[in-house]
Amino acid sequence: YLPALSLPSKLVTSTSPLRAAQDDYQFFDTTPLNVAGGPGGTGCVSFLREKGEPLKGPSGGSGSNGGSVWLQCDERLNTLSGVRQRIHVKGSKGENGKGKSRDGKKGRDVVIKVPPGTIVREGGKTAREAGEYKVAGELKKHGDKMLVARGGRGGRGNKAFKSPKNKAPCIAERGGMGAQRWLNLELKLVGDVGVIGMPNAGKSTLLSRSTNAKPKIADYAFTTIIPNLGVCDLEGGEGLVLCDIPGLIEGASDGLGMGHQFLRHVQRNKLLLHIVDGSSEDPVGNFNIINRELEKFDELLASRPQVVVVNKIDLEEVRERSEGIIGELKKAAGHSRVLPISAMKSENVKELMFRLKKFADAQPEVVLPEAMPNTDLGTLQVEADSDAFHIETDPSYPGQWRIVGEYIEGIAKMTHWEYPEAVERFGRIIEATGISAELEKQGAEEGDLIMIDKFDFDFSPAKTNPYIPPELLAQDELILARERGEKELRWGTGQMVDDSEDVVGDPRSPEAWVVDLSKEPGFDDEDWDDEAELELLEDFSAFDREDEGEGDEGYVFEEGDEMFTS
């Protein structure tokens, strides 16, 4: 095993301008984003006491959900630069529940504005990695909204746990953690007209003369390393959006030059403006090279209508041969939309823009083969709210099992382990979600170590042991007999059960008997504070102290008070 070489970052950064250009480019149009929903508020344990009525029941309010993080599409934006200002975005915390049955206020949502055409991937801190991650959604139209990190669920207060069986529950939940994840956003620029051509043809110059964009212009290839969007204001119209695509060269479709990274961007343009440098050695040859590269990359792209211009006719030698070039280009292109211009001297440029606008408006909206079917972004979530789980085990650590699953891990985090009732409830959830059964199926035994998140448990398969010792099978007989109405004898959890109770259970395992409480007599809401049934409860440490010294109409317990529970 050899340690990986690690170079100082300065050495790692590219030495060739092309490499630098690619890095810059990727940085421009993709960005990582860390989103986290706010944690939910904690539930409250408190009991209300009114004048003359010492105990009026549980009154702990529930904590509220934490704020979520959303992405929202805003058509006024055309870059991700706003998002890049803040890599970490969090929803705010939900308020804790309070005494007197008051629930907390919901945490505030955060909405991040992104431009149309933003693709959201889950995972991938760097652009290079991101391509391998799952696409979670795309924001296409103004107003599209997508939930990317749900706020944590608010913990319930003890009021919510009141039941006929337990009228004075001493249990509350902690707030759940908000979802947290890395996203990678990628923007496909949307323009009406994609400006393509060899490096140095004059694409950026044209954009700077005809639109509000201020692209970098220079006398060397690959001046443009990021696609620039520019809006050309035409009288009485909405304007024409031009997209200056960095220079294409032979081999671009194989990833040479700026390669795939830009070709992708041209995909959305309704039409292409193909700029031919009239001063180059072989204008028509260059024209053909670019078209071949488009074809190799994507047939759909190659079939997009083009307008062709011969640029730099302000130069004497270009002007002289322009007519010949135009004729050849018309032949090569198979249409007659070929114009001579001088981007630098703005010759013929206004005329060109009007024609482009008219032509663009006549084109149908570009329909791309979708990466994913149309989905409702409100429901399509990065979030998976299922109780799915899986069990990890390692043969070299027998008797140790790890349960992995968002739901069960969330519940474990929300459980107040100091309340015995909460622990019991957690046990029931382990049963109900099928985790217990699955553990047994995989061979877990009583006393094995079960790990969920950072919590450890002893495994006790108690109620669902499918192995039935022979002596119990004999008991089954009795149960079945009883079900047939033949005998009155019943078995419960190791002891005889009173005949007056209704017992339901799994006949294969007498130990699984459960008393059906709904049919139990004598549990009336009014009965619960019968003093004879009350016993002293000592632990008040977790009680809500916010409402000390309330007036007559309500009272929240304080440390040192006596409290009774059934």
Q: What are the residues binding Mg ion (CB under 5 A)?
A: 203-204, 223-224
Binds 67: which of Mg ion, ligand GTP, none (CB < 5-8 Å by kind): none
Beta carbon nearer to ligand GTP, 170 or 290: 290
Q: How far is CA 372 from CA 16, 96, 119, 189, 266, in A?
A: 37, 40, 11, 18, 19
Q: Is 476 exposed, middle or buried (0-12, 13-18, 19+ CB in 10 A)?
A: middle
Binding test (CB under 6 A) with ligand GTP, winner from 77, 111, 217, 468: 217
**Which residue, 296 or 345, has its beta carbon nearer to ligand GTP?**
345
Q: How far is the CB of 335 from ligand GTP (least distance, A)?
A: 22
218 touches ligand GTP by CB under 6 A = yes
CB of 248 to ligand GTP, least distance (A): 8
- Residue length, the chain? 566
Q: Which does 202 bind (CB under 5 to 8 A by kind): ligand GTP, Mg ion, none?
A: ligand GTP
339: its two tokens: 């114009």
What is the smallest separation between the CB atom of 387 and ligand GTP, expressed in angstroms? 54
**Element spanning 128, H or E:** helix 127-130
Distance CA 191, CA 230 (A): 9
Residues 533 and 55: beta-carbon distance below 8 Å: no
Task: Single out the residue of 18, 135, 221, 391 in contact with ligand GTP (rule: CB under 6 A).
Answer: 221
Q: How far is the CB of 64 from ligand GTP (least distance, A)?
A: 53
Minimum CB separation from Mg ion for residue 206, in Å?
9
The one of ligand GTP, Mg ion, none whose footprint includes residue 47, by CB under 5 to 8 A per kind, is none
Site for ligand GTP in 280-319 (CB under 6 A): 311-312, 314-315
What residues between 241 and 280 interact with ligand GTP by CB under 6 A?
246-247
Minimum CB separation from Mg ion for residue 407, in Å? 52
Measured from the Cβ of residue 407, the count of other Cβ atoms closer than 10 Å reads: 15
What is the DSSP secondary-structure string of 230-273?
EEE--TTS--EEEEEPPPP-TTGGGT-TTHHHHHHHHTT-SEEE
Stretch that binds ligand GTP, among 216-224, 393-401, 423-431, 448-456 (CB under 6 A): 216-224
- The Cα–Cα gap between 256 and 250 comes to 8
Q: Which of 79, 101, 211, 223 binds ligand GTP (CB under 6 A)?
A: 223
Q: Write out 451-500 in H/E/C secondary structure.
A: EECCEEEECCCHHHCCCCCHHHHHHHHHHHHHHCCCCCCCECCCCECCCC
Which runs of E-coded beta strand occur in 325-459?
Answer: 338-340, 390-392, 400-404, 449-452, 455-458
Q: Between 339 and 358, how does the x/- string for binding to ligand GTP read (CB under 6 A)?
A: ---xxx--------------
- The residue (of 221 and 534) whose beta carbon lies closer to Mg ion is 221
Own/partner pairs, 518-523, CB within 8 angstroms, 24+ separation: 523/164, 523/165
Q: Give least dist CB 269 to ligand GTP, A.
A: 16
The only residue of 42, 224, 228, 381 in contact with ligand GTP, by rule CB under 6 A: 224
Widest distance between CA atoms in the chain: 114
Shortest approach of ligand GTP to residue 205 CB, angstroms?
3
Which range, of 219-227, 328-336, 380-388, 431-439, touches ligand GTP by CB under 6 A?
219-227
Cβ closest to ligand GTP, residue 27 vs residue 417? 27
- Residue of the chain from 25, 28, 161, 222 that contacts ligand GTP (CB under 6 A): 222
Contact 226, 25 (CB under 8 A): yes
Site for ligand GTP in 23-42 (CB under 6 A): none
Neighbours of 396 (CB within 10 A): 6
Beta strands in 82-203 (DSSP E): 88-90, 110-114, 118-122, 135-139, 145-149, 180-187, 193-197
- Minimum CB separation from ligand GTP for residue 312, in Å? 4
Residue 490 interaction partner, one of Mg ion, ligand GTP, none, beta carbon < 5-8 Å per kind: none
Distance between CA atoms of residues 57 and 565, nearest Å: 9
* φ, ψ at 186 (rounded to 5°): -135, 135
Residue 116 beta carbon to ligand GTP: minimum distance, rounded to whole angstroms: 25
Distances (CA, A) of 136 to 118, 188, 261, 289: 11, 15, 20, 36
CA–CA distance, 531 with 564 (Å, rounded to integer): 8
Structure tokens at 141: 């139209």
Of 139, 118, 140, 112, the residue nearest 130 (C-alpha) = 118
Structure tokens at 340: 């001579």
> Residue 65 or residue 342: which is nearer to ligand GTP going by CB?
342
Q: Among residues 218 and 372, whose Cβ is nearest to ligand GTP?
A: 218
In the complex with ligand GTP, which residue's Cβ is closer, 250 or 558? Answer: 250
- Provide the mask over 169-208, with x wherever binding to ligand GTP is found by CB under 6 A and - wherever it is not: ----------------------------x-xxxxxxx---
Helix or strand run (H / E) with residue 504:
strand 503-504
- Residue 169 binds what, of Mg ion, ligand GTP, none (CB under 5 to 8 Å, by partner type)? none
The nearest distance, CB 279 to ligand GTP, in angstroms, is 7
Amino acid identity of residue 5, one-letter, is L
Structure tokens at 259: 């390669």
Closest CB 317 distance from Mg ion, rounded Å:
22
Which residue minimizes CB distance to Mg ion?
224
Smallest separation, CB 277 to Mg ion (Å) = 12
Select the span of 30-38, 212-220, 291-299, 359-367 touching ligand GTP (CB under 6 A): 212-220
Closest CB to Mg ion among 91 and 246? Answer: 246
Report the partner that residue 91 touches, choosing among Mg ion, ligand GTP, none (CB closer than 5 to 8 A by kind).
Answer: none
Please report, as ranges, the residues that interact with ligand GTP according to CB under 6 A.
Answer: 197, 199-205, 217-219, 221-224, 246-247, 311-312, 314-315, 342-344
